Amino acid sequence: MQLEKVLTAGIGALNLRDIDVYRAQGGYAQLERAIKEFEPSQLIDIVSKSGLRGRGGAGFPTGRKWQFLPNDGRTRYMVCNCDEAEPGTFKDHMLLEETPHQVIEGILMGTYAIGSNHAFMYIRGEFLRGYHIFRAALEQARAAGLIGKNLFGTDYSVELTIHRGAGAYICGEETALLNSLEGKRGEPRLKPPFPAINGLYGEPTVVNNVETLGYLPHILRRGAEWFASVGTPKSTGYKIVSVSGHVQKPGNYEIPLGMPIRTLIDDVAGGLRPGRKFMAIQPGGGSSACLFEEHLDLGYDYEALAGAGTMLGSGAAVVFDDTTDFVRAAHSLVRFFAHESCGQCTPCREGGHWLELTLERMLHGHGIESDVDMLVKVSHQMTGLNLCPLGDSIEPFLASVVGRFPDQFYAYVRPKQAPVAV
């Protein structure tokens, strides 16, 4: 199936890590145009009109996020969030390593648009190779005069600082990321105040995902109308979907939003392996609820997925076929959230650990029948009681697969265990 490539254009064919190759493809031309020909407020209008929504997980309209910044003359900061760790997501990893200049151009354009002069690139600690590639690209850009004082002969100056994380999923949450950037433990802050009012060093700050910022040069080049014409009225444009699990061709695919999930699995990702039967798809990363056979004709966009009780999230589609042991899959995800809980809020810290132990007990053959109900109850009781959404992230997957495949879970607790002799 032929898909139009926007952000992913040239990946695999060209060495886009080289600034000359990137410029030959029209790279940095839009940044020059933006700074020379547009006022920041005009750029915000263009992005608002395009309907671009945050590609990191929350799907918040980018233009509106930028408009929240108060006009009180305080220093503003732009932070690019490349702390990609949502289970199943690997798109930012690819963009960082394959098209670092596109990421830099997007960051600088966003920085200019929000009226800031200092941007930070927060890279997940595990992406060591990506960090070195990005650092080399940044030096090339600096040597080419794209970062520093008086860009393109204007009076606009900008600095871009790379900050490497050190292994903490929670730092992908924007306020935890800001704490980590300030040299603190990566614990989320109470909101409000939101980062737009009180962010990095207490100043107005915007935190945007790599993919979100990457689309900016393309929106400026081809126009807000072009972007808004793709996808559905409320979910406009393209989205990189990381398809993994039991498909024949797992990988990152850039699709127009609203594509039927069936098309995504069968035509884009090569379908399931011969003889296998589709069981479930987790459409938006580890925090999203599973969809099943009857949902396959839904469009892959923010509204349709929300309507089905799940979410698009970071765009990580994990496909499960009939060889899947959902108890083990649930154990993996619950263990992930238990491990990555920062420990500030009791329901998340204790609940996640408790659920992990319960599932582990079931896998060891010591489960009792009431454990299955308890999994769903405890995960539900954890929600809505925490500073950040991490504690709410266990319930969707667990409840959806326990609800759909209860036999798989009861198989681990039957026959009823006699007390272990001491």
Residue reference for tokens 């990580």: 316
When asked if residue 342 is in the footprint of other proteins (CB under 8 A), the reply is: yes
Nearer Cβ to other proteins (300/320): 320
Q: Which residues contact 61 (CB under 8 A, 6 or more apart)?
A: 48, 51, 52, 53, 54
- Find, among 5, 60, 2, the residue nearest to 254 by Cα: 5
Does 125 interact with other proteins (rule: CB under 8 A)? yes
**Interface with other proteins (CB under 8 A), residue from 23, 49, 142, 366:** 366
Separation CA 47–CA 233 (nearest Å): 15
Among 127, 227, 300, 405, binds other proteins (CB under 8 A): 127
- Which residue from 6, 53, 92, 210 is in contact with other proteins, where contact means CB under 8 A? 92
Closer residue to other proteins in complex, CB, 30/84? 84
Backbone angles phi, psi at 403, to 5 degrees: -65, -35
Rg (C-alpha) for the chain, rounded Å, is 22
Pairing type for strands 259-260 and 299-300 reads antiparallel
Q: Establish if 404 lies at the interface with other proteins (CB under 8 A).
A: no
Binds other proteins (CB under 8 A): choice among 335, 350, 406, 410: 335
Q: 77 φ, ψ to 5°? A: -130, 145
Decide if 167 contacts 174 (C-beta within 8 A): no
Per CB under 8 A, the list member of 53, 65, 101, 124 interacting with other proteins is 124
119 binds other proteins per the rule CB under 8 A: no
Does the protein bind other proteins through residue 168 (CB under 8 A)?
A: yes
* Identity of the residue, 235 or 324, whose beta carbon is nearer to other proteins in the bound complex: 324
Q: Taking CB under 8 A as the rule, does residue 270 contact other proteins?
A: no
Residue 242 in contact with other proteins, rule: CB under 8 A: yes
**Both tokens assigned to 159:** 């600095």
Considering only residues 174 to 213 of the shown chain, the ones binding other proteins according to CB under 8 A are 180-187, 201
E strand or H helix at 13, and its extent?
A: none
In whole angstroms, give the CA distance from residue 73 to residue 224.
29
> If binding is defined by CB under 8 A, does position 33 make contact with other proteins?
no
User: What 3-state DSSP class applies to 243?
Assistant: strand
DSSP string, 37-83: H--HHHHHHHHHHHT-B-TTTT--BHHHHHHTS--S----EEEEEE-
The answer to whether residue 47 forms part of the interface with other proteins (CB under 8 A) is: no
Q: Which residues bind other proteins (CB under 8 A)?
A: 75, 84-90, 92-93, 118, 124-129, 159, 161, 163-169, 180-187, 201, 242-246, 250-252, 282, 286, 316, 318, 320, 323-325, 328-329, 332-333, 335-336, 339-340, 342, 356-357, 360-361, 364, 366, 419-422
